[in-house]
Structure 1
């Protein structure tokens, strides 16, 4: 049952990714060399069409998908930047990414997803930019071919990050990458958007070889730094901020990602109008806000709203009672402010020898 559940979830995620196309995306529609234009379709904003350039041949390549049971081999240096490369759609036949000749891809992430299979079919190197991530998801695999030797190399930046057998000065073997989910990486997330006054929680989400025992460095606006894996930041004012995290393993390999967060303004109560009446009954109270929706309560915290809006008529009361008002917008809620509803039940008695008068005080 667990395997079936995992398969269904993976399939749903895969289909969702395939349905989230953007201009400049590519997907494989056949097998062949990366530079063979007939292998690819590209998305033009409304539909998939036959490609006129291979991915990375010109600027503007977004995400590249090797899917549909196709095999794509790379054997040359691809000149222009690619947002990401993913092999595997988790829907059946293997989707193969072959490294058949010395080559390079200018992308920050290659993902061997569920149903994907990566293989060095020659004794060659694949080079990626500094800080790139070669990621292996559950259900994806990096082949351990025979002969598995040091001539099959994954180079990141100027470092031989991995060879098939881990020799020739590489920090890791292909087997290490399979076991640890790929190369060293961080995938930062947060609890953003938050409201002014809330705590911002940053999460580095480390993964890959070398992530256990790695060090972290967060940097952000106004000179912010932290070496915590998951720092917490307070006292942020309204605005948009970028925080960057770098992970470094014991071998000196690094991976850096930047996360954008938003701090939303918290509305405030700008004025209140208490109410008064003589004797039991309802009282009209008022409040105004910088913006947002006003909600009225009987309690200083918790409880259910008794009404909304700048004018509020209380339930019938027989004694002076404190009510509370707050304002909210986009999930950001102000402090509650007390508004008093006064009930005057006092009276004065005047007596002469024959008649007694009871006069209520105003």
Structure 2
């Protein structure tokens, strides 16, 4: 367990105060060795506000503030004190003389603060110790062998601690049951613990989700720190369950969480998070754009992807819905987004736009046009009334567009028009006549005038 120096300082002051600066109603053990049972008045002294005096009743059988079992004393908890006790501390800080509370029979302690100090130990018969308040703070300063909760064999499930009606810990290791063992509580320092979890492993670009999963009593404060990362990044949070850190590098990250309650008790744990690299995005040869055909064609976005592997298509750059058939078979424009997966992580998405452009209509104009052969007419002399980017052919469909310098003959020519994307499939038919035209010249006319 990680202890903060300030907390340790105040705790030692608190333990010593329990012995040297008392409050009316405090009890301490005397350990006369004649009969060490809890309900034997000879084992207790009572502070009356001025001095320590022989106890008028055993702790919890009347008004009781703080109870301390001092070093070299052993008290057998052989009853269940009927009244509330403010706090119980096993040990007085003197490591040379062990203080022992022995659970001699099934007993109940009505307290919310139970501390096993550095020189304290709790030992057991086959008995149950119950704390009626489920928020009881069990605070263990040292879980070293011979101190804290006794974990030596033989152990049994009968040797247990209950918080209210819930069995909280048992002597033997019973981790599969979801309960703590005494060894767990010794290691964690008592009933205030954190068991951090995360959504590891994650992929680069994903958010780390952390959960403290605290147990134990009191109002809790949390402190998260990123203590190891591939890029020496820093991160802190005071949330119980932070979810706002996005790693910028792949690799291993270690987070440390500390929980502290209002009594100054603390527990610290670490958790490792693995960030896997994201694979490269699918490579595209480009968007696919075509003019409509009859019957209409089908465009497939897969034809634009040159990468191999597991590709999943979506209808949005992020989020969105999976598209099983990324095609287009109408005059329209649509964009699909290809994502690659390496079975661990997914890439960012690559957009592919499919477009089928509609065809313009045929141009309009005179369907009969006449030319004189003497003028050497060419395709450039043909005209239309409407249309842009006119192309002339000698066939109604197909064929090769004629150059503007192509001489005209008596024939039928066909005009198409094009917009910025497509050429019309229908064409204007124009009947062309090229003839030898007559040339009319002036003849001299002589007029005779009578005189």
Structure 1 length as normaliser, TM-score?
0.49
1 or 2, which has the higher strand percentage? 1
Structure 2 length as normaliser, TM-score?
0.40
